[in-house]
Structure 1
Amino acid sequence: MRTINEEEAMSAGVGSSNESPRRGFDYLIVGAGFAGSVLAERLAVGLNKRVLIVDRRPHIAGNAYDHYDEAGVLIHRYGPHIFHTNSQRIVDYLSRFTEWRTYEHRVLAYVDDQLVPIPINRTTVNALYGLDLKTDEEAESFLKSRAEPVEPIRTSEDVVINQVGRELYEKFFRGYTRKQWGLDPSQLDKSVTSRVPTRTNTDDRYFGDTFQIMPLHGFTRMFEKMLNHPNIKVMLNADYREIRDEVQFEHLIYTGPVDEYFDYCYGKLPYRSLKFRHETVNSAQFQPVAVVNYPSEDVPYTRISEYKHLTGQEHLKTSVTYEYPSAEGDPYYPIPRPENAELYKRYQELANSTPNVTFLGRLGTYKYYNMDQVVGQALTAYKRIAESEGVIEDAAEVSAV
């Protein structure tokens, strides 16, 4: 991976229209996270395009950035990132840049002074109510007896109460959601809590995807290999607005906040942010699983993450992260409310009518994507570009499922 400074980028971009078309860059990509990096790699390798990728942060890999802390423990700076997908094609693509370790994510919630599995399953119910339900049918019958049918289902509150009733909703979802989003579940779209299933068996995995794996040497190493191509130049600690008029390029790929691109002309799109408190503990293990949720509003943080569970690293010490949701800070989660969706539509119309600019990623399209979905979106964008240039190849056919 070649990292350059602003002077080098400007030098590369200087030249009149009469000079060689290889002068400057074919693409300027804003953001070195999954969307920008995947598309940079595909354009460089698949179409022999010259790419400059810029990021205002001092590192690549976006929110998936991991690094060794002062104790020598591999941590995720922006909270735990767990890769899971049902797409063989996306796994095949990323496998070009990493080996994998199998990892099935498990989460416990601290409820009623005990740690119980989340998503709610039969084990959870037995522990909380002192029961001995032995079959899926018994668990289903119990949950049905607690459920309060809601019609129609519109909000996140409706989803949970319809499935498991108000008591379990209060124990697991209401406080956690209020902390995470700064809003009551009754004020949020049903998609928020629909992401978390309710189970009647004893499956305690957080995800049910076919592929549940982690990059063997970390996400950052995977990104370094992805961007290691002579056609790709990387500029960090750089705001593209400060260089866009100085660097010669044909097309802009923008993965930053779409409202920021248009100078917030319709107002700011609402996001939820996070604050992180990283700590090293002088013991080999801090908690029994990678993530423990704290749904109670009496606890200021939402969860504690311990990374050695994710990475498999062996170390005499361990490092953990406390997460504090915040209204201020870097934009992490688009807030799913109808009025926000309507505001985004206005920006989307602007984006669609802006020539030679492609908007991608969570921030560029104001949608909560998992990592694999962002990869799929970037590969699909590449497929369209390749086909527009008359290139049909195996690499171009990798797309989202």
Structure 2
Amino acid sequence: MAATNPHYDYLIVGSGLFGAVFAYEATRAGKKCLVIDKRNHLGGNVYCENIADINVHVYGPHIFHTNSKRIWDYVNQFTTFNRFTNSPLANYYGELFNLPINMNTFYQFWKITSPTEARQKISDQISKLPFKKAGNLQEQALLMVGPEIYEKLIRHYTEKQWGRDATRLPASIIKRLPVRYNYDNCYFDDTYQGVPVGGYNKLVAKLLAGIDFKTGVDFNTNRYELTALAKKVIYTGAIDAYFDHSHGHLEYRSLQFKTEVLDMENFQGNAVVNYCDPKSKFTRIVEHKHFEFGRQSKTVITREYPVMADKNVEPYYPINDDRNNAILKKYQTMAAQNHNVVFGGRLAEYKYYDMHQVIASALKVCNRELYTAFEVEV
């Protein structure tokens, strides 16, 4: 129900990139906005905290990457991005391998230097598999890279990340994994890549400059009072929480972060190192200073431990299996009947989005709501 005498045109629930972009565009279009966030800071998952003069990515590493010049130009109007490209390493019981899987990786496995030899090696391994079509993640990975690489670099990392056996995961998850027959260690193929100089807080601060906001406010526990403040709501929280989990809980994977300040200049020599063995309970170690090529005398590292999300753990990765997708459809039907609420972003759409996709999605909503932003493809 619309508010009777609202003070704002839009109440924006969540100050992550979706909410911040919409707030910026709506304000530019002459609308009055209030942004609220249940956390005690703005920026959602891209929030950075300065520790030991290093911008720490509090909720995991965020490397901006896109093939869209429009999206790249859009974010660069607010802050300067550096030239960082993600080139992670994989650690398997102390052995190091280049990621994404490429000719460097093949050399590390088999001392092969020719793309033809590498293709033949993998082809020979695949030919011995007892199946030709993938029915799950394990089978898809085996058909992509063969059993040797799968066992060391994919299987245990994936099972830790998702908390279930690889044979119980959909094949679609692993299709995002790049496999290259060249020596390119850059994880993403996108034309434009980087990290904001000085951290993501600068980007969010520019997007929300001059806009009313409140932090430490949980919309779902104060829904009626908060909704009465505005003509319309832009909701970026979990869609099942909005509807009081009336059709059941949607499942998410999450992460617990253990961050340390170390009295050394350089811990691992790289921003991201994946730990692919089953013994290591964490999936990766992030050394934050490398995102901005830092030379500080100390360093800050974060170990990431995958867990299931619950009421005390933030949801990050939707588990888009058949059960959850069936529940999602019920919530989407309910959402479509709420004409004064717009559901957008990873949690509200129960969809895995990269940052550029979140921004593109927000701008599409802006086109529909405001007719001031430009048309972009998600």
**How would you bin the TM-score normalised by the shorter chain?**
over 0.9
- 2:314 equivalent to 1:330: yes
Q: How many residues align?
A: 369
5+ long unaligned stretches in structure 2: none
Quote the residue 1:235 is aligned against: 214
* 1:165 is the counterpart of 2:146: yes
- Tell me: CA distance 1:398–1:308, structure 2 relative to 1, closer, same or farther (3 Å): farther
Matches within 5 A, 1:196-211: 196-211=177-192
What do the CA deviations read for 1:328-347 (whole angstroms, capped 9, x no partner)?
A: 41101001312211211111
**Residue 252 (structure 1) aligned with residue 252 (structure 2):** no
Displacement after TM superposition at 1:16 (Å): 6.5
Contact 1:97 1:222 in 2 (8 A): yes
**What TM-score, normalized by structure 1, do the two folds share?**
0.88
Residue 125 of structure 2 corresponds to 146
Identity level (%): 38
- 1:42 and 2:28 aligned: no
1:362–1:369 contact (8 Å) kept in structure 2: yes
Candidates 338, 359, 367, aligned match of 1:383: 367
- 1:311 has 2:292 as partner: yes
Aligned partner of residue 223 in structure 1, secondary structure:
helix
Deviation at 1:248, TM superposition (A): 2.1
Q: Provide the residue aligned with 1:79 in structure 2.
A: 60
CA contact (8 A) 2:318 2:350 kept: yes
Task: Write the letter of the residue equivalent to 1:136.
Answer: P
Q: Deviations over 1:317-365 (max 9, x none)?
A: 1100000001141101001312211211111111112121110000000
SS of match in other structure, 1:158: helix
Partner Cα separation in structure 1 for residue 147 and residue 339 of structure 2: 50
SS of corresponding position for 1:119: coil
Aligned with residue 125 of structure 1, among 106, 118, 139: 106
Paired with 1:43 and 1:155, the residues of 2 have a C-alpha distance of: 43
Matches within 5 A, 1:1-400: 17=5, 24-45=7-28, 47-69=29-51, 71-111=52-92, 113-129=94-110, 131=111, 133-148=112-127, 150-229=131-210, 232-246=211-225, 247-328=228-309, 329-387=313-371, 393=372, 396-400=373-377
- C-alpha distance in 2, partners of 1:153/1:342? 23
Q: Name the TM-score, length of structure 2 as normaliser.
A: 0.94
Mapped partners of 1:157, 1:16: distance in 2: 55
**Offset at residue 283 of structure 1 (A):** 1.1
Offset of 1:155 from its aligned partner? Answer: 2.0
Q: Is the 8 A contact 2:55 2:198 kept in 1?
A: no
Greater shift after overlay, 291-300 or 113-122?
113-122
Unaligned runs of 5+ in 1: 1-14, 18-22, 388-392
CA RMSD of aligned residues (A): 1.6
- Asked if the contact 1:254–1:359 (Cα under 8 Å) also holds between the matched residues in 2, the reply is yes
